[in-house]
Structure 1
Amino acid sequence: MTTAPGFRDSLYSGGICGALIAERDWSQTALGPIPGWSAPLRTATLILLRSPVPMVMLWGEGGVMLYNDAYAVFAGKRHPQLLGSPVREGWPEVADFNDNVMRVGLAGGTLRYQDQELTLYRNDVPEQVWMNLDYSPVIDEDGRPGGVLCVLAETTGHVTARAALVESEARFRLMVDTVPQIIWIADAEGRMEFLNRQFSDYTGAAFQSLSPAEIAGAFIHPGDGPHVVAAFQAARDSEGVHRSEHRIRSAAGEYRWFLDLAHPYRDPRTGEIVRWFGSSVDIHDRKVAEDRLRELNATLEQRVAERTAERNMLAKLVEHTDIMVMAIDLDFNILALNAANAAEFERVFGVRPHTGDNMLALLDDQPVLREEVRAAWTRAMDGGRLTVVQEFGDPDRDRPCYEISFHPLFDEAGAQVGLYQFVTDVTERLRREAQLVEAQEALRQAQKMEAMGQLTGGVAHDFNNLLTPIVGTLDLLQHKQLGGAREQRLIAGAAQSAERARTLVQRLLAFARRQPLQLIPVDMAQLVAGMSDLVASTTGPQIAVEVDIAPGLPPADADPNQLEMALLNLAVNARDAMPDGGTLRITASRRDAGTDGAPGDYICLSVADTGSGMDAATLARAVEPFFSTKGVGKGTGLGLSMVHGLASQLGGALDIQSVPGQGTRVALFLPVSGSASPVAAAGPACAGPAKRSGRVLLVDDEELVRHSTADMLGDLGYAVIEAGSAEEAVRLVEADTAFDLLVTDHLMPGMSGTDLARLVQARRPGVAILLVSGYAEAEGVEPSMPRLTKPFRKQELAQMLAQFTNAPEAVA
């Protein structure tokens, strides 16, 4: 535990906010002077001060605010006055929201908000702010929530960006919905798969899946048909762009000139052409005008050809580029556009634009989309350049996101006459960016779970030390039958509550992967068979229990007691998921790969039910500690967390599969043991706390734990020598103090119990050694060293000591 001066010094390493907390006089607040702060309050304060993400703790009924430098930045001008103030006074504009947070948190609950919208006055003006908020209770020394810890991430930028994308898509769809040209899609050989309504309106024919030759014979001028078929075949051979000009017969029997342009679409995996996307643009008026101009200017033909060659080259470059280009005048009349723009406009708006068309008139039948297009162009009409990222298009067609660069268009006198744009589809790029954000969020969730595991393990270890004298004392009172019937009922009730607390702490340690384990090779078939009756009685007569164990399974490395508890937890969860009855199936088989597909040798123990199942959101949080769907008072939310922690601690893995309405399957993967044969779980060494004799050197730095253990040993007939540290015990050894048995705590300040055991073993080889611990930290501990897990009763202590009576040589 950090002392008050040491804690105050530690605050200074917590940044600016840490220094402010250290230097402030807290005596007039609900927290009181710093020397009187509880250990959980100090620990939580140091954790949040060292966090790089915004964190704030709301302590006590009033929610006195303690936060770190990252939160100070979020608070804006309200820092530093916000520090130390009650949360209702610090953020009055969201007082009701924070009142609910305090009610839930101080009741032991957790809250999580994704993109929570609040209006805050961080800088003297109202701001709409979106945040991800995670609230968790901080358990004080009395075992009740003393405050609420909040982890905050502002998501305002992401939320507003998404809103902007939605608006952009709507505007774009409006622009491309009503293209009055023929759009077609053909397979790799050119057989038609799609023709838009403009084709039927023009030709009067319904869609048919025709080959290029069949289309030429049915609709194209006889003088143009062979050229069109040859041009398409040449594009197929070269795998390039198809382009041809030809005449198409209308429903009235007239022929008009069209420009046919098609680009190949390739399979992303093989690179082979699988489709052709094309358009047929009516160029009849242009062709007629060209013919007339040719006739009227026969003498100027050469000069026109020379002057237009350069322009044609530039036009081809613009026409064939993938970048979409369009120019309009100030009245939204189209001055020019390339094929990419026309095709995309038609694809997303359903209408094909032409030079001379009024862009807004093309979208008159889609007023919402028309106003989106108008607004986008109007923003750029002030003469400056503008780049926007926005969605456009009809939601019923497609609504991609585009990066659009607007530029002013000037005449020879320098007056602005219109605008032109360059457009690139950035939908895929934004999707990849969103995937990156999702991956980063997954990483943050994994880091949060690891931090919760570390915090939970430490708290559970401290609770074991607190529970040891409670459990031991109540056990002694029960066995001595002190008081009358009323007193014995009270003692029995307290013992039952202590046992529930003990079980809860073991689950916390299991989640944190720090529970003490006794690994032995376990016969899975024997373990499941031994649990069958208990599982059946626990689940009840409405549920059929089926067991399927593969024959010849090798043993798995596991702690049989913890594995039985895990199996029982899974059976209880399955029972609760089947209130109207069903089938619970327990199977065990050998697998040559883990849950991630990596090769390995595992025993897979699975429990499957036919119950209600879980949706994706519930499944994603299934192993989070304290997360439960059973309702208040019906579950701790630690069952699956314990099983998950046990699997990780054993070097295995946990896999959960669930379908709503069909059931859930939980599979526990355990490494196959290197031992050829399983070891049966050790039974009790004796039927009860029989009397013994001898001298015991008892070492524990926790005075209450030491006294409680000494009382048990004395009650068992031992003479006890107490030492408050390993160093004190060493001095007794060096003074030749006689003792027959060493009982020592494992984790102590200074020299550990393991180091003490080695020293005693070296100096007094005949002395038996028992290691007591409430933690899974086993670094440097010999696997054969007897260990007793805190908290324990007198009978459990007696059973461990009986091993020394039956086998005195069994020491570390």
Structure 2
Amino acid sequence: MSDLEQVALVYAPTGRDSQIAVSLLKEAGIDSAPVDTMADMAAGLNDDIAFVVVTEETLRSADLRTLAAWVDNQPAWSDLPFIVLTHRGGGPERNPAALRLSEILGNVSFVERPFHATTFISVSRTALRNRLRQYDARLQIEALADGERRLQTALSAGRLGSWELELATGTLSCSNTCKSVFGYSSDARFDYKDLLASVYPDDRPRMQAAVRDTIENGEEYSIEYRTIWPDGSLHWAEIRAQLYRDRHGVAVKMVGVSADITERMQRLEQQRLINETLEMKVAERTAELTTAHKAVMAEVEHREKAEEQLRQALKMEAIGQLTGGVAHDFNNLLMAVMGNLELLGKHAAGDEKAMRLIDGAMKGAKRGASLTQRLLAFARRQDLQVKPVDMRKLVDEMGDLLRKSVGSAIALNYSLADDIPSALGDANQIELALLNLVVNARDATPDGGSISVGLRLGRPDRTTPELTAGDYVVLFVTDTGQGMDSETLKKAIDPFFSTKELGKGTGLGLSMIHGLALQLKGALVLQSTPGCGTTAELWVPVSHSTATPVHEPVDAPKSNGATTQSLKILMVDDDALIAMSSVDMLEDLGHHVVEANSGKQALAILEADQSFDLLVTDFSMPGMNGGELSRKARELIPALPILIATGYADLPEGTGLDVSRLSKPYTQDQLASEIGKVMTQSTGLAPA
């Protein structure tokens, strides 16, 4: 807002005061609006008035109740300045009646008449600067309120309830979603005593101990426990929180979120019951076979092993499907969070504190995105660039990194067979798998020892569900460390299982490598003995084509997000948060965007207007998915460029679409780059 947009009200109905004040304000570059009556002045007051010039004698005998009420009811950011013109000798120091005006009007400056023009202009400009600072405060308050609304929207989308616990008073403040986690309605009373009473009695001591530990040691509060709702039903809640301290380092409150995980715990319980039932049936069948005839024990053992493998495979498949679905949903949530943070960072440029907060939030979101990629790797839904890979060259080029990773206390040896053929895999993912295996070997050898990295040509002794007949390149890592017993070895590739201390690992390293191996039609084979170390083998099928470089050369510089022209884009996503974030990013890039929330709505738009340059659509949508929408859109506009966004690795088989794919979550630069590639392929128009 510029100075010229502000208006000063002038109420000086007698003499030449009004004429002089208006003239001086004009000289100072300030617009003014003279009024003739107190009623006109009161009616003219609003948030856009810069300040008010008024003579003291006009206020002395007037009814000031309307004026006082307006002053009292100003918004929190507003403190409208008043300049009161008094007679010589009638200033506030010698005139108690004038001084009382400060009590009514609040922000008052007194100017004794006759006044010098310089004095009046100086006081007026000071009042204007004061008002402009108030407008700045209003913008900041509105920005904070908008940020709070976005945060609440994100919490609502994730079905997370927010809460705060004041430690000094024990006062609990929580959102309606938080109340619902404990079975309370939004209008019901719910204090800390009610929360404690809701915790299942057997879980209450553990919950209170965790709270004490957080307050005393500052540890992150993270706990799952059972709850009893007011209707008597049993549920599960997951609570996470952090401790906040004042500037003196004194703990003042805990702030956190809560979620209802009843369905998840029920699924786990159902899976446990299924496993128990299956184990019972296996035991019953084994007893029957043993009673019938012991020259058949070998057959029984074989069947037990097969059933164990099947049970393990079914369990891992079920966990993989669940994990992949959860990772996909979190990708969508992270897409909205990262997109909004990226755009917010542009608007907060120059605000050091805001940028620091945004940067912290973005780093947390990126860590979440990295975790979802590991989950997708375990679920065999990550995006792979499968090509012939020179494995010997790959290991050679990682030598320096592996040496730095193991440190000087451990000997790193290599055993690379000659004439190793190319493997059919993803070079980047195999590099990551090798690094994970070497780091695991290092952690298993804390007192020093040796680690061997090797390559050999392998052929399975017998076929398994993972390894079929054929030739494989075997990448192996052997350590002389602690080793694992048979029970630990069985759980080694389970997601989130780890023998490391809390906080030293996610338990996803071997799970990710196992998922990668299966996705490459290979296998991860582990062999270990307590006290004798561990050998991990990654079996990758041999390629019959010439290997490509591990790191392909870059053909062109990355897009900086700018485009040579503004495109007309139809953006389709059934998730309102993601659609809003994506539309904002596209418009920030300079494109004209039309939004649709379903495939049906998108087709209606295309039928009415076929001038769109590009269709950007989510794949997983109810009613009509992105693949079906793309086929129907091409029937309407055969040459329409299409970009499909998805959190999964590949589109389902049978899609048969010649379209580009964008992995979620994506940044604005990635979005701009993919749009540039699509437009280059279809029209020859590329990003600048």
TM-score (norm 2): 0.55
Q: Secondary structure at the match of 2:459?
A: strand
**1:97-116 counterparts in 2 under 5 A?**
107=222
1:648 alignment partner in structure 2: 518
Q: 1:679 to 1:810 in 2, by over 3 A?
A: farther
TM-superposed deviation, 1:466: 0.5
Q: Distance in 1 between matches of 2:546 and 2:635?
A: 33
Q: What is the CA–CA distance in structure 2 between the aligned matches of 1:32 and 1:550, rounded to whole Å?
A: 66
1:146 maps to a residue whose letter is I
Indicate whether 1:565 and 2:432 are aligned: yes
Q: Say whether 1:699 aligns with 2:566.
A: no
Deviation at 1:774, TM superposition (A): 0.5
In 1, Cα distance between equivalents of 2:397 and 2:482: 28
Bigger CA drift: 509-518 or 466-475? 509-518
Matched, 1:793 2:642: no
| Cα distance per residue 1:397-427 (max 9 Å; x no partner) | xxxxx99xxxxxxxxxxxxxxxxxxxxx998
Cα deviation, 1:273-303, whole Å, max 9, x if unaligned, reads xxxxxxxxxxxxxxxxxxxxxxxxxxxxxxx
Q: Conserved in 1, the CA contact under 8 Å of 2:181 and 2:259?
A: no
Distance 1:774 1:144 in 2: 23
**Secondary structure in structure 1 of the residue aligned to 2:540:** strand
Whole-angstrom distance in 1 between the partners of 2:387 and 2:239: 35
* Within-5 A mapping of 1:124-273: 146-147=261-262, 148=265, 149-150=268-269, 151-152=272-273
Letter in 2 for 1:689: N
Length, aligned pairs only: 447
1:629 to 499, 519, 532: 499
> Could you say what secondary structure the match of 2:339 adopts?
helix
Q: What is aligned with 2:651?
A: 778
| Equivalent position to 1:453, from 296, 320, 328 | 320
Q: Quick one: which amino acid aligns to residue 574 of structure 2?
A: D
Residues 643 and 678, structure 2, Cα contact 8 Å, conserved in 1? no
1:276 aligned partner? none
RMSD, matched Cα? 4.6
Deviation at 1:103?
A: 8.3
Give matches, 1:405-484, under 5 Å: 440=307, 443-478=310-345, 482=349, 484=351
> 1:321-400 maps to which residues of 2 (within 5 A)?
none
Question: How far apart are 1:783 and its partner, in Å?
Answer: 8.5
Gaps of 5+ in 2: 1-178, 186-193, 212-220, 226-235, 241-255
Moved more, 744-753 or 637-646: 744-753
For 1:130-151, what per-residue CA distance to the aligned partner results, in whole angstroms no more than 9, with x for missing partners? xxxxxx9989996867354432
* Alpha-carbon distance in structure 2 between the residues aligned to 1:771 and 1:433: 51
Give 1 or 2 for the bigger CA radius of gyration: 1
Instruction: Classify 1:496/1:810 alpha carbon distance in 2 versus 1 (closer, same or farther; 3 Å).
Output: same
**Secondary structure of the residue that 1:600 maps to in structure 2?**
coil
Q: 1:749 to 1:717 in 2, by over 3 A?
A: same
Work out the CA distance in 2 between the residues paired with 1:766 and 1:444: 49
Distance in 2 (alpha carbons) for counterparts of 1:622 and 1:137: 28
1:461 deviates by 0.9
Is 2:360 the partner of 1:487?
no
Residue of structure 1 in register with 2:619 after alignment: 746
The Cα of 1:468 is off from its aligned counterpart by 0.5
SS of corresponding position for 1:599: coil
Asked whether the 8 Å contact 1:774–1:790 carries over to 2, the reply is yes
Q: Distance in 2 between matches of 1:657 and 1:456?
A: 26
Matches for 1:520-599 after TM superposition, within 5 Å: 520-593=387-460, 596=464, 598-599=468-469
Q: For residue 524 of structure 2, what is the amino acid of its counterpart?
A: L
Q: Deviations over 1:521-544 (max 9, x none)?
A: 333344434433333333333344
Retained in 1: the 8 A contact 2:428–2:550?
no
Question: Cα gap change, 1:554/1:438 in structure 2, threshold over 3 Å: closer, same or farther?
Answer: closer
Q: 1:553 to 1:61 in 2, by over 3 A?
A: farther
Q: Secondary structure at the match of 1:771?
A: strand
Secondary structure in structure 1 of the residue aligned to 2:261:
strand
Mapped pair 1:689 → 2:560: yes
Residue 641 (structure 1) shift: 0.8
1:631 corresponds to which letter in structure 2? E
Shift of residue 702, structure 1, vs aligned partner: 1.2
Aligned-pair CA distance for 1:508: 1.2
Cα contact 1:686–1:802 (8 A) shared by 2: no
For residue 452 of structure 2, give the secondary structure of its aligned residue in structure 1.
Answer: strand
In structure 1, C-alpha distance between the alignment counterparts of 2:634 and 2:548, rounded to whole Å: 30
**Aligned counterparts of 2:500 and 2:476: Cα–Cα separation in 1:** 22
Q: Is the 8 A contact 1:517 1:559 kept in 2?
A: yes
Conservation of the 8 A alpha-carbon contact between 1:689 and 1:716? no
CA distance in 1, matches of 2:532, 2:309: 28
Aligned to 2:73: none
Q: 1:804 aligns with which of 663, 674, 678?
A: 678
Secondary structure in 1 matching 2:432: helix
Give SS of 2:582's match.
helix
- For the 8 Å contact 1:773–1:788, the answer to whether it is kept is yes
Counterpart in the other structure of 2:373 = 506
- Give the equivalent residue in structure 1 for 2:38: none
Distance of 1:29 and 1:799 partners within structure 2: 42
Partners of 1:721 and 1:551 in 2: CA distance:
59
On the 8 A contact 1:740/1:767 being kept in 2, the answer is yes
Match of 1:722 in 2: 595
How has the CA–CA distance of structure 1 residues 484 and 757 changed in structure 2, closer, same or farther, with 3 Å as cutoff?
same
Is the 2:573–2:618 contact (alpha carbons within 8 Å) kept by the matching residues of 1? Answer: yes
User: Structure 1 counterpart of 2:668, which letter?
Assistant: K
Please state how far the C-alpha of 1:701 moved relative to its aligned partner: 1.3
- The 3-state SS of whatever aligns with 1:453 is helix
Distance in 2 between the 1:810 and 1:458 partners?
37
Q: Which residue is equivalent to 2:83? A: none
Q: Is the 8 A contact 1:516 1:774 kept in 2?
A: no
What residue is the counterpart of 2:537 in the other structure?
Answer: 667
- 1:519 is matched with 386
Change (3 A) 1:755 1:568: farther
Find out whether 1:612 has 2:482 as its counterpart: yes
Q: Is the 8 A contact 1:108 1:144 kept in 2?
A: no
> For residue 508 of structure 1, what is the amino acid of its counterpart?
L
Is the Cα–Cα contact under 8 Å of residues 689 and 794 in structure 1 kept in the other structure? no
Does the 8 Å CA contact 1:625/1:638 hold for their aligned counterparts?
yes
Q: CA deviation at 1:502?
A: 0.8
**Among candidates 610, 613, 618, match of residue 737 of structure 1:** 610
Structure 1 stretch displaced more, 613-622 or 705-714: 705-714
Q: 8 Å contact 1:686–1:799 — kept in the other structure?
A: no
**Would you say the 8 A contact 2:181–2:260 is kept in 1?**
no
User: What's the TM-score once normalised by structure 1's chain length?
Assistant: 0.48
Alpha-carbon offset, residue 624 of structure 1: 0.5
SS at match of 1:635: coil
Instruction: Report the Cα distance in structure 2 between the residues aligned to 1:554 and 1:632, rounded to whole angstroms.
Output: 41
Q: Which amino acid aligns with 2:319?
A: M
Asked whether the equivalents of residues 385 and 425 of structure 2 are also in contact (C-alpha less than 8 Å), the reply is: yes
Query: Once the two structures are superposed, what CA deviation does each residue of 1:210-242 show, in whole Å capped at 9, x if it has no partner?
Result: xxxxxxxxxxxxxxxxxxxxxxxxxxxxxxxxx
What percentage of residue pairs aligned between the two structures are identical? 43
Paired residues of 1:138 and 1:146 also in contact (CA < 8 A): yes
Q: Deviations over 1:765-804 (max 9, x none)?
A: 4433222110135223459743221111122223323323
**CA separation of 1:636 and 1:472: change in aligned 2, threshold 3 A:** same
Matches of 1:154 and 1:550 in 2, distance apart?
Answer: 43
Contact 1:545–1:585 (8 Å) recurs in 2: yes
Q: Do the aligned partners of residues 483 and 502 (structure 1) sit closer, same or farther apart at CA in structure 2, a change above 3 Å counting?
A: same
Q: Give me the whole-angstrom Cα distance separating, in 2, the residues matched to 1:658 and 1:581.
A: 18
Change (3 A) 1:103 1:612: same
| Pair 654,741 (structure 1): closer, same or farther in 2 beyond 3 Å | same
Mapped contact 2:575–2:597 kept (Cα < 8 A): yes
